[in-house]
Amino acid sequence: MNNGLILERFQIVEGFPAVDLQTGANNGDYISLKNAKRVAIVFTSGVGTAGDDPTLTLQQATSVAGGSVKALNIPTGSAFMKQAATNLAAVSAWSTAATIATNTLTNDTSAEQSALWVVELTPDELDVDNGFDCIRATVADIGSNAQPGYLFYLIELKEARSPLNAVSCITD
C-alpha cells in the first residue's frame, strides 16, 4: 500500500446519480456499514426555484436489499451544510443544519441556493442490537421545477486496504 492515499482508508459509493430532483422520488442505494468506522452522507443540489426545497430522509435496514426498513434518526450535532446564492466557491465554513426532524433534514431556503449537506454517522448509532447495519438516504420529489441533485456516501473503513482491493459496502 501507498500509506497515504485517501482511497486506502475511504470508500466512495454513489447513492443516486445526478438527477433532476423534480422527476420523482430519489432513493439512494443501501450500503452496509459492517466494515465502516463512520460514514458521511453527502448531498448536493444546484440552484432551483423557491419553495421546492429538498428533504433528505435517512433509513436503516438489516440488509443492502432493504430488509426490515425503519427510520434512522439524525444524531444531534452530526448534520452540516454550506449554501450560497450562486455557487459554493467562496464558502469555507460549515453551518449547523437548520431543520432536523427525527430522520429528516431540510432547509426552507435551500431550493434557491447552491447547497452541500453532510450527515455523519457511526455504525453504533443504528439499531445494531436488532441486526441493523445498513443505511440509505433518500430525497423526495421536490415539486414541479427543475433542480439538479446528487447523493453519495463517503465511508471511512475500519482497516486500510489498497484501492485496487477495496472492501465492498454494497453487499452484505
Mean pLDDT, the chain, whole residue set: 93
Assigned domain for 73 exists: yes
Domain containing 77 equals: 12-158
Assigned domain for 62 exists: yes
Mean pLDDT throughout 125-134?
A: 96
CA-based radius of gyration for the chain: 16
Is residue 92 predicted with pLDDT exceeding 70?
yes
Q: Hey, what's the cell of 36?
A: 465502516
Q: Hey, what's the cell of 136?
A: 440509505
Cα-flanking dihedrals φ and ψ of residue 139, to 5°? -130, 120
Given this model, what pLDDT does residue 172 score? 78
Assigned domain for 112 exists: yes
The model carries a pTM of 0.94
Residues 32-64 pLDDT 10s: 999 999 999 999 999 999 999 999 999 999 999
Given this model, what pLDDT does residue 39 score? 98
Residues 69-84 pLDDT 10s: 999 999 989 999 999 9
Is residue 98 predicted with pLDDT exceeding 80?
no
Assigned domain for 109 exists: yes
Assigned domain for 4 exists: no
Is residue 163 predicted with pLDDT exceeding 90?
yes
Question: With the CA atoms of 31, 33, 34 and 36 taken in that order, what torsion angle do they form, in degrees rounded to the nearest 10?
Answer: 130
Assigned domain for 48 exists: yes
- Listing DSSP states for the chain in one string gives --SS-GGGTEEEEEEEEEEEGGGS-EEPPPEE-TTEEEEEEEEEE----TT---EEEEEEESSTT-TT-EE-PPPTT-EEEEEESS-STT--S-EE-SEEETTEEE-TTSTTSEEEEEEEE-GGGS-GGGT--EEEEEE----SS--EEEEEEEEEESS---GGGPPPSS--
**CATH assignment at residue 62:** 2.60.120
Is residue 8 predicted with pLDDT exceeding 70?
yes
Mean pLDDT throughout 86-104?
A: 90
Given this model, what pLDDT does residue 1 score? 61
Assigned domain for 22 exists: yes
Integer CA distances (angstroms), 79 to 46, 56, 118, in order: 19, 11, 6
Assigned domain for 133 exists: yes
What total number of domains does the chain contain? 1
Given this model, what pLDDT does residue 99 score? 83
Could you tell me the pLDDT band of residue 2, with boundaries at 50, 70 and 90?
A: low
Is residue 136 predicted with pLDDT exceeding 90?
yes
